[in-house]
Structure 1
Amino acid sequence: MLTEGELRALVVLHGEQTVSGLATELDRSLSYTSELVERLETTGLVETRRDGKTKRVRPSDAKALELLADITQTHSHIEWPELVSGATLRVLYYLDTPRAATDLARRADVHRSTVHRALDPLKHRGIVYQTEDDAYALNEGFERLSTLARELAHHDHRQTVERYTDTYTIRWESLDEFLVQTADDITAEDFVPTGPEQFQAYDLPLLARDRRYYLYSETTRDLSPETLCCHMLVIDAGARVQSYCLLLLSHVDVDRDELRSQAVTYDVDDLVDDLCTYLDTSGEQRTSRLPEWEDFQELAAEYEVTV
């Protein structure tokens, strides 16, 4: 997420101007401002061009910058760079709905004290309040701060994947990870293959299409069956994919608690609950997208899966 200096530069950057002019507005040295501009150019938030010996800089067309400009112009009396940079943006990403400090800390991967330290200044200015059950929430008129944090993360994810392919669809994303669909092979370390092809690791050779799926993560290297099941449901929640997930859950020793935890993360908890209920009741309780039990038994027999 953006530092206070980077955010301040974006706030004062209106149209195209010289880097030296930007340094004057920021009241910082030319070398410091040049470094800021280089970092922001790497993120795709600004663009630069040479005009003789002069370097000019302008905002890119990133949607996040439109939101930032709107917020800062609407509430011009607030010193936004000081309030919402760094860890605060991480916390705001998950403040799209009222959340307790513990929940925010877990989701944003920061310490609980960091959540309080980040949000207390916003609370003192009436931007954030605490509910009766002690959850943090954004006051009316400031909900766009969470949208801004999400747009900044989305922009960063797009910049990341566009280093390797021009044709892609982001199917799911969180603050630090995203699930992407593409027709291209991506061999970079942080792109972990997922989707139908990965069922082969569990002796379930599914017919994969030309599309490829990857989880971008700086920490995950091997996918658990619980995570793979959730990825499949994110990719396609249709009847065919749900049947494949039933095969996986029947064939592999799955940790149900971990499965439900992953399902909440990927927002497919209702679908996972339906799958588990279906298997626990031998198909007596099923949704319209799940097969008749006899049909599923036939499919399982084809893949030599015991149900």
Structure 2
Amino acid sequence: MIRKRDLRVLSVVDSPKGRQELADELNYREDTVSGALSDLARRDLIDKERKGNRVIAKPGDARCVEVYQSLTRSNPHIDFPDLLTPSLLNILYYLSSDEAWTATELTEHTGHARATIYRGLRTLTNRAIAVKQHSRYRLTEEFNELHVFAYELQHHTHRVRIKQDLEGGTIVWESHEEFLVRTETAIELPDYHRTGLDAFAEHGLQFFTTSEQYYFYSPERESLTPEDLFCHLLLIENDSRHRKYALLLAVKTDLSPERLQTVADDYGITEIVEPLLEFLETDGKKSSEATPRWEEFETLADEYGVEL
């Protein structure tokens, strides 16, 4: 969560400035500015350097900083630090000018109470930042940068967490609170769950793997389901080899097609998973370019001791 005071300071750190200069510009106490600069530096949103006995702050190179400062420059009449509460930033992560959402859909995706969603949407529509059409909401083109900022801020937050926890890694997939990361570092932190082909061993499927490892970060989940592992493998690499291994897992763990469909929707890969489900449900009679030949799959299943 980024604080209101931090956003105020970030809006005026558009060039190298000292603490006293920032305090005078914002009418803040110098210790308040100092605290904000520390928080912003911890988030890699600004850079600090010492010149003599002065601390100089300058904007970081994260894209969310560039977008936010562009917003504040272009719309000096809007108090963005007051507007951008944590719940509204969560709404804006999804809401854009390109795609319309219902309040129900935003409630499901953000996890906020319906009243919170309606309050946020009312704030946006009252300020002509968003419009409502037939129970669906979207941002106006003029303010689509709010969506870009909310998205880029969360992406940056994930990257900073990976840097702090793993000393390096690549994000393969992400949502507002969760992400799938590729790394060469073994992780033993509670919110990171092993996934990818290495995790298939927990279900009796042992494959040859490379030094790259995959983990799914989630502060809410205690473990991953086989449906999660199926989808993660296709997010990691949607090629013929990985699709066949995902199909093996589906048979080995007797995955529910309905449950797998729901999880695939959550990860945004419904179109990838549907032909694989149809392939299994028809014993290969309904195939596509995305599926192997049934005889080929039978041979692979026999090799790994999976009964079809």
- Give 1:187's aligned residue: 188
1:221 is displaced (CA, Å) by: 2.7
Q: 1:235-270 CA deviation, whole Å, 9 max, x = no partner?
A: 011001110111111111323332122111211111
- The amino acid that maps onto 1:122 is L
Moved over 3 A (4+): 164-167
CA distance in 1, matches of 2:168, 2:52: 35
Match of 1:92 in 2: 92
- d(CA) in 1 for partners of 2:232, 2:117: 29
Where does residue 221 of structure 1 map in the other structure? 222
Question: How far does residue 75 in structure 1 lie from its aligned partner after superposition?
Answer: 2.1
CA distance in 2, matches of 1:117, 1:28: 30
Q: Aligned-pair distance for 1:85?
A: 3.1
Secondary structure at the counterpart of residue 142 of structure 2? coil
Contact 2:192 2:218 in 1 (8 A): yes
Q: Is the 8 A contact 1:183 1:212 kept in 2?
A: yes
Q: Distance in 2 between matches of 1:140 and 1:7?
A: 23
- In 2, the alpha carbon distance for the partners of 1:102 and 1:29 equals 42
Q: Does 1:244 align with 2:245?
A: yes
Is the contact made by 1:4 and 1:86 (CA closer than 8 Å) also made in structure 2?
Answer: no
Pair 1:59-2:59 in alignment: yes
Residue 271 to residue 106, structure 1, CA distance change in 2 (3 Å)? same
User: Is 2:130 aligned against 1:128?
Assistant: yes
Tell me which residue corresponds to 2:29.
29
* 2:276 and 2:290 in contact (8 A); partners too: no
Consecutive unaligned residues in structure 1, runs of 5 or more: none
Which residue pairs with 1:269 in the alignment? 270
TM-score of the pair, normalised by structure 2: 0.95
Q: Percent identity?
A: 33
CA displacement at 1:145 relative to structure 2:
1.2
CA distance in 1, matches of 2:86, 2:27: 21
2: distance between equivalents of 1:119 and 1:27? 31
In structure 1, the partner of 2:117 is: 115
* Superposed counterparts of 1:148-187, under 5 Å: 148-187=149-188
Note the 1:263-302 alignment, pairs <5 A: 263-302=264-303
Provide, for residues 222-241 of structure 1, a one-character-per-residue CA deviation record: whole Å limited to 9, x for no partner. Answer: 11000000000100110011
Deviations 1:135-161 (A, max 9, x none): 221012211211111100010111011
- Computed over aligned residues only, the root mean square deviation of the Cα atoms, in angstroms, reads 1.4
**How far apart, CA to CA, are the structure 2 residues paired with 1:119 and 1:5?**
23
Contact persistence 1:225–1:252 (CA under 8 A): yes
Contact 1:83 1:122 in 2 (8 A): no
CA distance in 1, matches of 2:3, 2:256: 40
TM value normalised by structure 1: 0.95
